[in-house]
Structure 1
């Protein structure tokens, strides 16, 4: 076993947080890379993971509390000091098993080791103040936007938009769900095993699971590291959120079909489609990014799927490659803001700008229009996103139907396939608080056999 040369978990957490907060690194990727390279003991790896994700999830609440404990504005503090104070404050305020004195002492030690020895007194004073103050009572704030934003750590602009779309009660529930621990979910590969047998196999390797809430193909990991299991290596399951699994049910694929996944990386849905086809048919897994083609191939290879063919290309230009009405089913899992997966990727809520969201619907509609031309008459086109923003979901579909309503209609049989009642005709929005899964949107569009 290779031992890490530096096993100080707080130093590792600090460096990861520094990259996320100041270099806009993706939290899940930065954490994965650091833990892979450092090979920390499992206990330390769990600690680093909790400190990194927890600090990012509670970022603006922590910053607010730190700001009230300092004479100068918090954001004017040294970059490394900001990181040390944030992660130490998270331990003080939200990690019951870390004694206050330990969190403060380790924060001061980290300042010394990370080149900020001259500021150790400052760090000590601020953290002691935070420990005395604790978490404020945000219910006293009259403005609902500011109250929810601070109590649940979300940007005010995002809370305001969600209140406009879903009301204060749903917004509060959604924001509270987003700061909870994200579940690790597995999708059973039914070409190799069944859910009950997989549970037993995983239990024999020390991995505890419970059945999912939305599909008969899902398991929720409650203990152990499933990625290190022989079942994963042998292709008995994949990692996928339950909401995302519903997309394949919405497509209603059957053996022998020709299916296009227009925006396929990293390949989870394309492989699920192939499994539902019994690996009998063809799944074209397209993505615009060449480096992500490898991810698709790796997934299909591990699952021993022969029906998946990956390719690189712009989803908005697929008619340059394929003739119209080539596919029986088409999936457009569109590029989106990702604001339905904040629970698992908390940095999204801080890095996403509302100006960026405003540009997305035009691209989403363009891809949807292109994909629609490739669908055969009588076929099903599914449009999905992992966001809960109406302008990226229902409004895109509404604009599409305004232009192509003579050729397409919303599929009213969607409910029977996904096992959930539609929020609107042929459409289902899943909010993160409803099933402990990701926020997700699915719309099923059927191409008329004859134009109206």
Structure 2
């Protein structure tokens, strides 16, 4: 419950908060798995759980911790079949006694007993089909409306049908050290279901397991990265001697992937920028772990100031992996769908456009500017690209390399993936070539 409270009240990321909790407390694998299941399950299904609770809670105003406690109990009752209800009732009541007063404990017990007797209300009682889709998938109505408006009802239903499913663990193999097949063979004894990615040539995917805890991670043999994110560096068609700017680089996944294509002896270098000094240190740490520090130069800088620091036309390739709403990451960070608001899709494109405008003059004629996001909203993707091209006649858009390999990709000439396409994060990549005045 503490993890859920931190995520809801303090805005913490679920994955980071859960990882910190698991490291702090020594839990056996079964308990760790159950805790993970409950944390993600409650966040993923929050709107559905609140719908189930509403007839029993009625108009009573609940403290945040009481609501989280009830949601956790109802999640276990509805979605899990191996936790006895008597254990759920006992744990919820004991927590309520410790956190509140005896009256709160009695209230919690009464709610759960009534729900056990009467059963949860049927979603079929929701008459509006879009409201029902919203509650059923536990997705705010504004987000459902946006997806339907942009992608149609059928595609929206497909996307929402998978966003509450657990995301696979994916790793990017450090191809400077070995092949994908070699690392798979080395890991398969501990991760028997690990297989090559169907999307990313450098990726391996496993439905479960703590891959980041494997010694091969510390040895720099791989790094954690989503499959869709692994498509960015290959799409940049890099050469060993290229000078590259990664304008929004932390924590360095794409930076280090770019670095694998470069050769410091040939003059290849990637300059990685991030606004926060502590994140710049993280980029440098990841580069060192992977044995790529000789070709990574990390700077603390606002990307919007890049044009005042670097000489015009000084980079062969520039990557803007822009700060965005993160709506494509809902499966990994389900709290995003509740935290983001429609107004975020109004002010974020201004920031994204400002960064693109700042770095546009740094690209050599004949060079390329790659724009990527981990969102599914056209306001942050196609619309930002269209506005940039309208303001920069010295650029044109070309098909994103790698698009041709993916039969489920969308938005050509850009590459757009949705979570239901390949089970990856939602992601967008556009390739813009500078052609001169």
TM-score, normalised to structure 1, is 0.92
Determine which of 235, 240, 255 is the counterpart of 2:220. Answer: 235
Shift of 1:416: 5.6
- Which of 333, 356, 359 is residue 321 of structure 2 equivalent to? 333
1:255 maps onto 2:240 in alignment: yes
CA distance in 2, matches of 1:442, 1:27: 26
Matched, 1:439 2:426: yes
Pairing 1:398–2:383 present: no
Distance 2:243 2:318 in 1: 9
Question: Helix, strand or coil: the match of 1:283?
Answer: strand
Which of 11, 35, 40 aligns to 1:48? It is 35
1:50-449 aligned within 5 A: 50-73=37-60, 76-206=61-191, 208-277=193-262, 281-305=268-292, 306-404=294-392, 406-412=393-399, 414-415=401-402, 419=406, 423-448=410-435
Gaps of 5+ in 2: none
* CA apart distance, 1:418: 5.9
Question: How many Å apart are 1:29 and its aligned residue?
Answer: 1.9
Aligned-residue Cα RMSD (Å) equals 1.8
Query: Does the C-alpha gap of structure 1 residues 152 and 135 become closer, same or farther in structure 2, counting only changes over 3 Å?
Result: farther
List per-residue Cα deviations over 1:235-257 (Å, max 9, x = no partner): 11111001111111111111111
| Deviation of the 1:278 alpha carbon | 5.3
Distance 1:123 1:447, change over 3 A: same
Q: Using the TM superposition, name which of 358-367 and 36-45 deviates more.
A: 36-45
- Contact kept, 8 Å, 2:400 with 2:429, in 1: the verdict is no
2: distance between equivalents of 1:34 and 1:374? Answer: 43
The equivalent of 1:18 in structure 2 is 5
Count matched residues.
434
**Contact kept in structure 2, 1:207 and 1:223, CA below 8 Å:** no
- Structure 1 residues 424, 20: CA separation in 2 closer, same or farther (over 3 Å shift)? closer
Residues 169, 209 of structure 2: 8 Å contact kept: no
Q: Which runs of 5+ in 1 are unaligned?
A: 1-13
- Quote the offset at 1:118 in angstroms: 2.9
SS in structure 1 opposite 2:152?
Answer: helix
1:31 deviation in Å?
1.3
